[in-house]
Amino acid sequence: MAEESKSVFANPAPLGLVGFGLTTVILSLINAGVLPKGGEQVVIPLALAYGGLIQILAGLLEFRTGNTFGQVAFLSYGAFWFWFALLILLGGHGVLDLSQAGSTIAVTLLGWGVFTLYMWVSTFRLNKALWWVFLTLWVTFFLLGFGALFGVHILSLAGGWLGLVCGLLAMYTSFALVTNSTFGKTVLPIGPYGG
pLDDT digits (tens, 9 = 90+) for 64-93: 999 999 999 999 999 999 999 999 999 988
pLDDT for res 42:
95
- How large is the angle between the packed helices 68-92 and 55-65, nearest 10 degrees? 160
Cβ–Cβ < 8 Å for 137, 115: no
C-alpha distances (whole Å) from 57 to each of 19, 27, 52, 105, 141 are: 10, 21, 9, 26, 24
Q: Residue 20 in contact with residue 51, Cβ under 8 Å?
A: yes
How far apart CA 56 and CA 70 sit, in angstroms, is: 10
Report the C-alpha gap between 158 and 95 in whole angstroms: 31
Largest interatomic CA distance in the chain: 71
CA dist 85 and 26 (Å) reads: 13
pLDDT at 3: 52
pLDDT tens track, the chain, 195 positions = 455 555 678 999 999 999 999 999 999 999 999 999 999 999 999 999 999 999 999 999 999 999 999 999 999 999 999 999 999 999 988 899 998 887 999 999 999 999 999 999 999 999 999 999 999 999 999 999 999 999 999 999 999 999 999 999 999 999 999 999 999 999 999 999 886
pLDDT on residue 69:
98
Closest by CA to 79, choosing from 59, 107, 104, is: 59
Amino acid sitting at position 165: V
pLDDT value for 8: 77
Contact 32, 26 (CB under 8 A): no
Predicted local confidence at residue 92, as pLDDT: 86
Look up the pTM and report it. 0.94
